[in-house]
Amino acid sequence: GAVVSQHPSRVICKSGTSVKIECRSLDFQATTMFWYRQFPKQSLMLMATSNEGSKATYEQGVEKDKFLINHASLTLSTLTVTSAHPEDSSFYICSVPGLSSGANVLTFGAGSRLTVL
């Protein structure tokens, strides 16, 4: 599978500000990346599919204007949480899909803990 780097690992911001999270595929050119959100003690919820060179595909109920996704290159996708509010505090994780031994494999980044004060 791919090697995925996510930055920052932790970020604290004031309500109303915007925060950008980066996801890099270090050894694999990814035309697609996925962004997940995870609340404490809960499972991973797919937020959106990031597509290189085109618009992201958002899951039902995810505000596209709140969570801006940019996939400018084959190795970088960014998630910007705009006008963040305390309810946006969560653990955000990106993942890169790939194939290993004929199986579809999702490789996850280490995640970014966002705390909005």
Site residues, other proteins (CB under 8 A): 1, 4, 6, 9, 32, 34, 41-44, 46, 49, 57, 93, 95, 97, 99, 103-111, 113
Q: Which of 28, 108 has the CB closer to other proteins?
A: 108
Angle of CA points 15, 52, 16, to nearest 5°: 5
Residue closer to other proteins by CB (options 44, 68) is: 44
Nearest to 8 by CA among 109, 116, 117, 99: 109
**Structure-token pair, residue 112:** 């970014």
In the complex, minimum distance from the CB of residue 109 to other proteins, in angstroms, rounded to a whole number? 5
In whole angstroms, how close is the CB of 108 to other proteins at the nearest point?
4
d(CA 24, CA 42): 25
Of 13 and 106, which has the nearer Cβ to other proteins? Answer: 106
CB of 25 to other proteins, least distance (A): 13
Instruction: Please name the residues in contact with 115: beta carbons below 8 A apart, sequence gap of 6 or more.
Output: 10, 11, 12, 13, 89
